[in-house]
Structure 1
Amino acid sequence: MACVDSEVDLWTIPLIALNVSVRKKLGLYLNPKITVAADWTAVAEAMDFTYLEIKNYEDTKSPIRAVLENWQARCSDATVGKLLSILEEVERKDVVEDLRPSIDADVRKYLENLEKQATPPLQVPEVDSCDPRPSERFAMTLEDNPEGAPELFDAFICYCQSDFEFVHEMIRELEQTEYKLKLCVFDRDVLPGSCVWTITSELIERRCKRMVVVISDEYLDSDACDFQTKFALSLCPGVRGKRLIPVKYKPMTKPFPSILRFLTICDYTRPLPPDWFWTRLAKALSQAVTRI
């Protein structure tokens, strides 16, 4: 398989390198069901998705996008090279040939961003804060278009890596069902190569209506989760209407964080039907934001 250049192995490039434009074009090719060529279902089968999972994706706005996002989240070998190999395996070389220039461009940009992130500047022209500047529009998420409206979400999900299995269940229950909510999951939605604190504060304050905090013992030891929670709580009164929703999904050995004790908890550990939990959480996230 040809690469961007002789030194780049696409099998080592994570799928997150592919930007929104390429993913949308994949949808144009693979979402329609046609009899003369393999569609998104064949790609999903090659990625080892089950029959029930594939049936659930049928109700999403863009099935191939949902497949790619979940494959990217759960598989360590979800790379650009693997995706191209699967497309060739299902005999969609036409898609590979047509999209290869755009894919190569995304890979080059991804590698350039990694290089910039790894190389500190030789000279800092001015002292500046990490506060995001609304006037400086740049792509932060997979669906962002710097020339158009920024991508918005129903909720920012604050979690630590050890709790990602529950976050993945949350994605299935809230995004891929009748609730049709749009969650901001950092590892899935945010493009690499930018200041973590800048991106996080911008998403919480301006892009997401609410914030779900996944509470666990590991959460209490996470510096990133601590920053995200305290930042959301410190927002000026005018935007406190985007309230925090603490979610406890497993038993804890450590005390519940004191800064969240005044908030109503959505407790997955209670002996109640799971549907009650997801319905309450979805309803809370669907409500209009109240500004004081």
Structure 2
Amino acid sequence: NMDDTDSKVNLGSIPLFALNVTVRKKLGLFLNPKHTVAADWTAVAETMGFSYLEIKNFEASKNPTKAVLDDWAARNSEASVGKLVSILEEVERKDIVEDLQPLIADEDVRKYLETLKKKAEPPVQVPEVDSCVPRTPERSGITVDDVPGGIPEMFDAFICYCQSDFEFVLEMIKELEQTEYNLKLCVFDRNVLPGSCVWTITSELIERRCKRMVVVISDEYLDSDACDFQTKFALSLCPGARSKRLIPVKYKSMTKPFPSILRFLTVCDYTRPCTQAWFWVRLAKALSLP
């Protein structure tokens, strides 16, 4: 019974990504087949709040249950293991809950809580030669204001830019940090300690330390490998970009076409004189969202 786990652990506090591949596959086996008697994936999607058209679109997927779960987690900050369990109970699929209970509670939730506990403990130094995979100490001391062994420094936004656009980044700092918006930006040249592996640190900052990412788009940006990597990495974290996680900014006219992978996102455009007055307000509001 899930209630035993619930009394010790609040399943509502366990995010959906804690669910392992095995559980997701089994959910698919239960929910993918069209069912006339029991509720299938369509009933689950409807209870999650997906519209008729969205559900019709999911039908094209080889594994609609997986697509629904991924999309639900991407658009809903409250998507949790507990919420999924209560949705399954609501559509009267207690059989699934009972069948998967040992896998969810005893394996996935336990593993997730152990990982959290490990993160909270101070890192253990291992005296061994290792590959380029970073050890926790490196990840905990990556910004100028990180306190060794303390809580990692967090930011409202990671600013993805290339060197030739740095003047504009300085203006961004002035307009967003040194005003009533009081936002905290992660600017690589200013906040990151030298000597760390660039790709590892960037991934860590985008994924775990920054709520959002602002991408300063320019012709030079399109030629930059680092910017390309950062943008694709951020996009991979938020399929569909439902959480407004990635915000493209265009501040000067371009000769090259706008990157196609960002075309579906609303751009904050500084080049249009008519909307320039609202530029910083819109950007600040988007970055202030929870």
Query: TM (normalized to structure 1)?
Result: 0.52
**Aligned residue-pair number:** 163
For residues 257 and 239 of structure 1, what CA distance do their matches in structure 2 show? Answer: 15
User: Which of the numbers 260, 270, 287 marks the counterpart of 2:289?
Assistant: 287
Distance 1:225 1:125, change over 3 A: same
- Note if 1:228 corresponds to 2:230: yes
For residues 238 and 251 of structure 1, what CA distance do their matches in structure 2 show? Answer: 27
Partner of 1:188: 190
Partner of 2:147: 145
Runs of 4+ deviating beyond 2 Å: 124-129, 132-138, 236-242, 272-275
- Which consecutive residues of structure 2, in runs of 5 or more, have no partner in the other structure? 1-127
Higher helix share: 2
Identity in percent: 80
SS of the equivalent of 1:214 reads strand
Query: Which residue identity does 1:158 align to in structure 2?
Result: C
For residues 188 and 263 of structure 2, what CA distance do their matches in structure 1 show? Answer: 25
Deviations 1:177-217 (A, max 9, x none): 01000000000110001100111000000000000000000
For residues 212 and 260 of structure 1, what CA distance do their matches in structure 2 show? Answer: 12
Q: Tell me how large the CA RMSD over aligned residues is.
A: 2.3
For residues 240 and 223 of structure 1, what CA distance do their matches in structure 2 show? Answer: 25
For residues 166 and 207 of structure 2, what CA distance do their matches in structure 1 show? Answer: 23
For residues 273 and 236 of structure 1, what CA distance do their matches in structure 2 show? Answer: 28
SS of the equivalent of 2:286 reads helix
Q: What is the correspondence of 1:1-292 to structure 2 with a 5 Å cutoff?
A: 125-127=129-131, 129=133, 138-235=140-237, 241=243, 243-272=245-274, 274-288=276-290
SS of the equivalent of 1:163 reads helix
Distance 1:268 1:279, change over 3 A: same
For residues 219 and 135 of structure 2, what CA distance do their matches in structure 1 show? Answer: 34
For residues 144 and 268 of structure 1, what CA distance do their matches in structure 2 show? Answer: 33
SS of the equivalent of 1:246 reads strand
Q: Is the 8 A contact 2:219 2:256 kept in 1?
A: yes
- Which consecutive residues of structure 1, in runs of 5 or more, have no partner in the other structure? 1-123
For residues 229 and 133 of structure 1, what CA distance do their matches in structure 2 show? Answer: 25
For residues 274 and 152 of structure 1, what CA distance do their matches in structure 2 show? Answer: 29
Partner of 2:45: none
Query: TM (normalized to structure 2)?
Result: 0.52
